Amino acid sequence: MNKVKKALIPAAGLGTRFLPATKTIPKEMLPVVDQPILLYVVEEAVRAGVEDIILIAGRGKHAIEDFFDRSYEVEDQLLKAGREDLLSRIQKIRDMVNIISVRQKEALGLGHAVFCGQPIIGKENFAVLLGDEIMHSEPGEPTVTEQLSKIFIETGVSTVAVMEVAAEDVEKYGVISAEKTPEGYFRVRDVVEKPTPDTAPSRLALPGRYIFTHHIFDYLQNAKPGKNNEIQLTDSMRGLAQNQGLVATLFQAKRFDAGDKLGYLIANIELALMRQDLGPQLRQYLRGLIDDLS
C-alpha cells in the first residue's frame, strides 16, 4: 500500500453548540490560542504526507478557502512592518497544502459528507479527519494520521483510530466490536453508532481519524439513514469490516474535543500552556486563580 496523499475533512456542520459565534463563521475556524482549529487538523494531515485536502464545507466555506489562500494585503503589511516572523508563518500556511473544497448542499450526516468527496478521490486511498478534533503530538512524535498510515501500509486494509472511553460515554461515539491481533491492533468485526452503555459491544470508541480504501464509497453510495435519521459513516464501515477488512489501533496523542464548549476551553488552556510565549504567564495566572478559589 502506498502513502496516503489525500485527506478529507468534513466541516459542514451548523456549529449550533457555538452560536452565536458560529452564525457567520464555521466552527472549524474558531481560534484555539491563535490559530483556527482547522489548522491544527490540517497540520496533522500534512505531517503524515498529505498533499491535497478535500474540504467538505457548508456555509462559511469562503472563510476557510481564504484562510489557505494568499492574502496580498496582510502579507504586504507584515513585510512593511518588518514582521518577518508572522509573515513566514502566514506564507507557510498558504503553501502547506492544496485545498479542494466541495460544498455539501444538505447536512444529511457524516457518511453523506464523506461521499461528497468521491468525485475527487475516485479510486485513491484517503484519510478522514474530523474538523473539530485536535490531536496534539509532540514535534518529532508521529501524528495520529501517521500512526494510522503506518498500519495501513503494513496491512493494506482500512485503518481507524480508537480510544477507550468510560461506559457512560459510549453513547457519544461510534463503537467497535473487535478482537486483538498478535501485532497489537484490532481486527474490527462490527461498528455501532452511539450505542447505549448496555448494548455497546466494547468501550473502544472512534475519535474521528480514519484511513479508507475507495471501497468505502461502494457502501456509502447505497447507504440509508441510520441512527438519528442521518447517513452514518459507521454503517458503511460495517461493510468494510465484514468484506474488505478494517483494523483499529489505540492512538498515542493528546486529544481535544474542540467541538464541545468545555473541550474547546480546555484545548485553549492546555495548548497555551505548551507554548513558550504564553505558558509561563498563564501557569502563574492559573496558580493564582486556584489559590483564590480554594
Residues lying near ligand G1P in the complex (CB under 6 A)? 110, 130, 173-174, 193, 205-208, 232-234
DSSP 97-108: -EEEEEE--S--
CB of 209 to ligand G1P, least distance (A): 9
CB of 10 to ligand G1P, least distance (A): 9
DSSP 190-255: EEEES--TTT-S-SEE--SEEEE-THHHHHHHT----GGGS--HHHHHHHHHHTT-EEEEE--SEE
CB of 87 to ligand G1P, least distance (A): 35
Considering beta carbons, is residue 110 or 151 the nearer one to ligand G1P? 110
CB of 30 to ligand G1P, least distance (A): 16
Considering beta carbons, is residue 223 or 233 the nearer one to ligand G1P? 233
Rounded to whole angstroms, how far apart are CA atoms 40 and 32?
A: 9
Considering beta carbons, is residue 78 or 240 the nearer one to ligand G1P? 240
CB of 44 to ligand G1P, least distance (A): 15
Considering beta carbons, is residue 58 or 208 the nearer one to ligand G1P? 208
**CB closest to ligand G1P, residue no:** 174
Cα–Cα distances in Å, from 274 out to 141, 249, 253, 282?
Answer: 15, 26, 14, 10
Considering beta carbons, is residue 151 or 165 the nearer one to ligand G1P? 165
C-alpha cell at 110: 457524516
Rounded to whole angstroms, how far apart are CA atoms 150 and 181?
A: 16
